[in-house]
């Protein structure tokens, strides 16, 4: 291998290494929050129906704004219409995906654990952790709730390992009871 080819290869490897380091530096690691932690830290908890989503370019990144009709408020206050903006989405032929960022479909119902901090707008606490999807079993007619993060491994700071957890396929009435109990504990 000649000097020029070797030099070109080394520069290519150097830039690939920089790219990998930059990606790792901007990666997001979410620490698992227990259901009680979510209920306590949330500034509002709502049951809402997704009206629709629109993705746009903002400062060189794709962001998706989703509008929700608030059906019920379990904690805090919320307007009748809620607008959440999250990173990622699809604009024309370009798609951006951010791990643990929920994607919503028009018509679906969710429980959202919300957080309003110092910055503008309202956010979903822990992204996938604060998103609970409501689905109806077509055979039984029973509504069930599943947390988005139930299928995603999340870092557990206590054990210092990644693990699965969360709410999976819980009947809606049981979820609502669990939420009420968590809120009662948070208010003590």
Q: What is 29-77 written as a DSSP string?
A: -PBP--HHHHHHH-SEEEEEEEEEEEEEEETTEEEEEEEEEEEEEEES-
Mean pLDDT of the chain: 86
Task: Answer whether residue 141 shows pLDDT above 60.
Answer: yes
Q: Convert the pLDDT of each residue in 100-117 to its tens digit.
A: 999 999 999 999 999 997
Backbone angle region of 96, left / alpha / beta, with phi > 0 → left and psi within -120 to 50 → alpha: beta
pLDDT given at position 1: 63
* Interval 128-136 mean pLDDT: 96
pLDDT given at position 161: 86
Q: Convert the pLDDT of each residue in 51-80 to its tens digit.
A: 999 999 999 999 999 999 999 999 999 999
The strand pairing partners of 134, in sequence order, are 109, 145
pLDDT given at position 22: 39
pLDDT given at position 79: 93
Q: How confident is the model at residue 7 (pLDDT cuts 50, 70, 90)?
A: low
pLDDT given at position 20: 39
pLDDT given at position 15: 43
- CB within 8 Å of 48: residues ≥ 6 apart: 68, 69, 70, 71, 82, 109, 110, 111, 112
Q: How confident is the model at residue 29 (pLDDT cuts 50, 70, 90)?
A: low
């Amino acid at each position: 291998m000649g000097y020029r080819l070797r030099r070109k290869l080394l520069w290519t490897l150097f830039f690939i290494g920089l790219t990998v380091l930059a990606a790792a530096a901007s990666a997001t690691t979410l620490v698992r929050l227990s259901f009680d932690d979510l209920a306590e830290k949330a500034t509002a908890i709502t049951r809402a129906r997704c009206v629709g989503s629109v993705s746009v370019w903002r400062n060189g990144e794709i962001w998706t704004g989703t509008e929700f009709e608030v059906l019920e408020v379990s904690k805090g206050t919320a307007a009748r219409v809620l607008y959440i903006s999250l990173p990622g989405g699809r604009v024309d032929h370009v798609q951006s995906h951010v791990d643990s960022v929920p994607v919503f479909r028009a018509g679906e119902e969710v429980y959202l654990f919300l957080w309003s901090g110092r910055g503008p707008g309202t956010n979903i606490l822990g992204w996938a952790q604060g998103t609970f999807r409501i689905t109806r079993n077509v055979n039984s007619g029973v509504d069930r709730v599943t947390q988005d993060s139930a299928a995603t491994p999340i870092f557990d700071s206590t054990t210092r390992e990644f693990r699965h957890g969360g709410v999976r396929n819980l009947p809606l009435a049981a979820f609502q009871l669990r939420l009420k109990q968590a809120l009662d504990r948070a208010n003590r």
